[in-house]
Amino acid sequence: MKGSNIAGSIIGVGLNVNNEALSELPQASSLHLITGKRYDLDTVLTAVAAEIQLQLQQVATSPSEKIQEAYETYMFRKGKVSVFEDAFSNRFNGIIVGVTAQGKLKISMENDLVQEFGLKEIKLLF
């Protein structure tokens, strides 16, 4: 970071395409398992890369508030009561309400207080 601005970022994308079984990853799936179709990997790569490029161009010209708003729109289980497990194996119910500017997950707890969690501090159980 440079001051309050991000100077760089690394983006990683993992996509299971034609996998038929993911027994070692019980919460994972693949395009094939979801749709029942097989996909040409080069076609998928080209489409995903083009979409990433388009989204990055929009990020470069959008205010950070709009980017965060768009990101939060697609958050998995946002606004739904979910079960979480913390680093000490304690389970609790909470509702994902968003993320902080620093990337921490904001969860509304059962006592209606919003608590922030960093990477690897909690796990969503579903």
Work out the number of other CB atoms within 10 angstroms of the CB of residue 23: 6
Buried b vs exposed e over 37-76: b needs ≥16 C-beta within 10 Å?
eeeeeeeeeeeeeeeeeeeeeeeeeeeeeeeeeeeeeeee
C-alpha 119/C-alpha 45 separation (Å) is 28
Confidence of residue 8 (pLDDT cuts 50, 70, 90): confident
* Angle at CA of residue 104, ends 66 and 34, nearest 5°: 75
Average pLDDT, the chain: 90
Confidence of residue 2 (pLDDT cuts 50, 70, 90): low
Confidence of residue 7 (pLDDT cuts 50, 70, 90): confident
> pLDDT tens digits, residue range 25-64?
877 899 999 999 999 999 999 999 999 999 889 888 889 8
β-strands 105-109, 122-125 pairing:
unpaired
